Amino acid sequence: MNASSGPFELWLKGTMSDSVLSANSTLAAVDAAKLLEESKASAIIVLENSIPAGIVTNKDLTIKIIAHSYPSDTPIRRIMTTPLVSIPPETDMKTALQIMSSRKIRKLPIIENDQVLGIIVASEIAVSAS
């Protein structure tokens, strides 16, 4: 099954958020936290030289900034999860779910030609499946 076969395309559209935050890797953690709060998002794709290089989640900010006592002006490149685990848009649903499960990740960006097309969020999969 691929993106052009129909069912995956419908599944992808139903579970993917095409509203994805991205920021330069030099953004301060405090500014990333404000951005997440204002947008009500839970992750930011971190860009280095305009190329997706990592991801910073609410959990990263909480654990790495608070628990490790990093200063709030720490650049997000220091706390991002890298390498960025992502999938191309033609990835089938089973493979996407296997990647999320095996890597123990809840957010899976969809990237093509270094452009973030969207992100699959585990909580949205559960909602769309019900």
> Is the pLDDT score of 12 beyond 70?
no
86: three-class secondary structure by DSSP: coil
122: pLDDT confidence band, cut at 50, 70 and 90? confident
State residue 89's pLDDT score.
87
State residue 24's pLDDT score.
97
Question: Of residues 127 and 96, which shows the higher confidence score?
Answer: 96
The strand pairing partners of 51, in sequence order, are 48
Calculate the alpha carbon distances from 29 to 14, 42, 59, 79, 124 in Å.
31, 14, 12, 8, 26
Calculate the alpha carbon distances from 77 to 56, 90, 103 in Å.
9, 29, 20
Question: Of residues 13 and 27, which shows the higher confidence score?
Answer: 27
State residue 2's pLDDT score.
39
Positive or negative: CA dihedral 10, 82, 67, 39? negative
Calculate the alpha carbon distances from 116 to 9, 32, 71, 126, 127 in Å.
17, 18, 29, 22, 23
Positive or negative: CA dihedral 123, 77, 47, 37? positive
Question: Of residues 74 and 124, which shows the higher confidence score?
Answer: 74
> Is the pLDDT score of 34 beyond 90?
yes
What percentage of the chain reaches a pLDDT higher than 90?
A: 55
> Is the pLDDT score of 4 beyond 90?
no
State residue 16's pLDDT score.
58
pLDDT digits (tens, 9 = 90+) for 65-94: 888 889 999 999 999 999 999 999 888 888
State residue 126's pLDDT score.
52
Tokens representing residue 85 in the block: 């685990």
Type and span of the H or E element at 43: strand 43-48
Tokens representing residue 42 in the block: 């839970």
Hey, which CATH number is domain 3-129, 1.10.287.70, 3.40.640.10, 3.10.580.10, 3.30.930.10? 3.10.580.10
